Chain A
Amino acid sequence: MPRFESKSVADLRVGDWAQFDGRWAEVLACATDPTGWTRVTLDRSPLPETVVHRTVDVPWSRTRPAGLT
Chain B
Amino acid sequence: MVPDAAGGSDVRRPEDIRAFLAQHSDGRVIGRVPAMFGIAVTAAEAEFQRRLLSAGHSSGYLALLGLSATLTFDAGEYFHTAEDARRDQGEWHGYHRGLQTALACLIMHETGSNPRQAALQVAEHTETLIRCRWNTRPAVGGG
Assess the A28–B75 pair: CB atoms within 8 A: no
B-contact 0/1 string along A28-69, CB 8 Å cutoff: 110101110101010000111111101000000000000000
A35 to B77, CA, bound (A): 12
A48 to B75, CA, bound (A): 20
**Nearest CB of A to B13, in Å:** 36
Q: Check: B120 CB closer than 8 A to any chain A CB.
A: yes
Q: Check: B93 CB closer than 8 A to any chain A CB.
A: yes
Number of residues from B at the complex interface, CB < 8 A: 23
Assess the A33–B120 pair: CB atoms within 8 A: no
Assess the B127–A29 pair: CB atoms within 8 A: yes
Q: Check: B116 CB closer than 8 A to any chain A CB.
A: yes
Assess the A49–B97 pair: CB atoms within 8 A: yes
Q: Check: B140 CB closer than 8 A to any chain A CB.
A: yes
Q: Check: B37 CB closer than 8 A to any chain A CB.
A: no
A37 to B79, CA, bound (A): 11
Assess the B120–A28 pair: CB atoms within 8 A: yes
Chain A residues positioned under 8 Å from B124 (CB to CB) = 29
Chain A residues positioned under 8 Å from B134 (CB to CB) = 33-34
Assess the A52–B116 pair: CB atoms within 8 A: no
Assess the A35–B123 pair: CB atoms within 8 A: no
**CB-based nearest B residue for A46:** B115
Assess the A37–B100 pair: CB atoms within 8 A: no
A48 to B114, CA, bound (A): 12
> Interface of A with B (CB < 8 Å)?
28-29, 31, 33-35, 37, 39, 41, 46-52, 54
Extra inter-chain contacts (5) besides given A37-B75, A41-B123, CB under 8 Å: A33-B130, A34-B134, A37-B72, A47-B116, A52-B72
> Interface of B with A (CB < 8 Å)?
72, 75-76, 79, 93, 96-97, 100-101, 104, 115-116, 118-120, 122-124, 126-127, 130, 134, 140
Q: List 11 A-B contacts (CB under 8 A).
A: A29-B124, A31-B127, A37-B72, A39-B72, A39-B126, A39-B130, A47-B119, A48-B119, A50-B100, A52-B72, A52-B75
